[in-house]
Chain A
């Protein structure tokens, strides 16, 4: 006999943990946020709620605001402020009077600080110095690290001195006397520029179409001459 499956509703695991309720209890922070939102709604200064309310049930525009908006649209010079602008101006004035440069007045505070920076108070000054000194004391430098720059400088200097001295000895002290005499005699041995005719067999005439072979021979011979000249100038036989 075929029986139908029997279904039943079961609560989700989270609800079981919360003692059978749908949601866990509210935290302190959530309750605090909810209270703040409620107050803001009552005051009517929550921007999202105000926008929703205006969209749902728009209020009629005050006569003065309408005049001000029309004056701006028609580009009249001295258009009066709207109610919202008046309120914002009042808030800013109050903030300046209180010396509270936060929120809307933050830019004004920055401008004032840039134009006329306030003097650092004595306590704040002392606090900054104390903090800087304590942080510098915390940095511990090992003796090895302290000595490292001196050792590096000394080694560099000694190597530089040794290199200079070696160069001096190489060119002055260790020149063999024989090389000196060869050097004096060398200039007379330089090969002069001359006709290349002797590179070619006098019994054979130049063939037309063999120019490249001729220049090959000339360049090769003079290359060899130049090498000899260089050796002679350096005093090498």
Chain B
């Protein structure tokens, strides 16, 4: 009985010491914990930091795109669309509004879906994908420009279908829409280039020739 008491006291003492050290250790883990929630462990209060949830989403998107590649290689358009659907319909990190990376990845996934839908002959679904993607890519970025570019390609495919049907009025109307979309894409890409040049000037880089 005495022995048991002695061991109990020793174990209790060591547990108490361990608890003290754990308490100090918690201070160290606070920052990563905050970072893992993407909240404000920094001076950038209210802003979202790069955190594990964001990276998990990006990894998922990466896997889905590669899965879609394999499906496309096998001429399985439906399989490719289903793979990309996982990016759009799954949970999104960061709350509302979603982090910039998430918005851009969704916009790009929508653009790819639009391309696949139109190649499969479903122009209406493709244009809906474009509109949904543009809701995520609202500022002039590569992603927004890419969406307009794909929109132009989708309408080009529509034109081919209209030509087959002999719908000359429809063809003319679609051509105008395609040109508008391509012009929009060019304008956005110009803005992207100008923005990049301004950034380079601000950083003290030599002016462009």
Contact = CB atoms under 8 A, between A and B. Distances in A.
Interface of A: 149-150, 153-154, 156-158, 160-161, 163-165, 167-168, 170-172, 183, 186-197, 200, 202-203, 205-206, 208-209, 211-212, 214-216, 218-219, 222-223, 225-226, 229-230, 232-235
Q: How large is the interface on B (under 10, 10 to 19, 20 to 34, 35 or more residues)?
A: 35 or more
A183 B26 CA distance: 13
Contact of A225 (B42, B50, B143): B50
Given A160-B10, A190-B44, A197 B141 contact: yes
B10 A157 contact: yes
Nearest to A203: B193
A202 B196 contact: yes
Interface of B: 3, 6-7, 9-11, 13-18, 20-21, 24-25, 28, 31-32, 34-35, 38, 41-44, 47-52, 54-55, 58-59, 61-62, 65-66, 68-69, 94, 99-101, 104-105, 108-109, 111-112, 115, 139, 141-143, 145-146, 149-150, 153, 185, 189, 192-193, 195-196
Q: Interface of chain A, helix or strand or loop or mixed?
A: helix
Given A164-B14, A205-B149, A215-B61, A194 B3 contact: no
Interface centre among B50, B109, B145 (most CB of A within 10 A): B50
A161 B13 contact: yes
Contacts of B17: 161, 164-165, 167-168
B20 A168 contact: yes
Contacts of A226: 50-52, 54-55
Nearest to B103: A195
Nearest to A231: B32
Q: Interface of chain B, helix or strand or loop or mixed?
A: helix
A153 B3 contact: yes
A222 B101 contact: yes
Contacts of B100: 193-196
B103 to A, nearest CB: 9
Contacts, number: 180
Contacts of A211: 65, 68, 108-109, 111-112
A159 to B, nearest CB: 9
Given A222-B54, A226-B51, A233 B34 contact: yes
A219 B32 CA distance: 20
B42 A164 contact: no
Nearest to B146: A206
B59 A219 contact: yes
A229 B49 contact: yes
A196 B101 contact: yes
Nearest to B112: A211
A106 B54 CA distance: 80
A160 B17 CA distance: 10
B184 to A, nearest CB: 13
A218 B49 contact: no
B142 A208 contact: no
B104 A196 contact: yes
A224 B55 CA distance: 10
Given A186-B31, A191-B49, 16 more contacts: A153-B7, A157-B9, A163-B14, A164-B15, A165-B14, A168-B20, A183-B28, A190-B50, A193-B94, A202-B193, A205-B145, A215-B62, A218-B105, A226-B55, A229-B50, A235-B28
Contacts of B108: 206, 211, 214-215
Given A191-B50, A205-B189, A222-B50, A233 B35 contact: yes
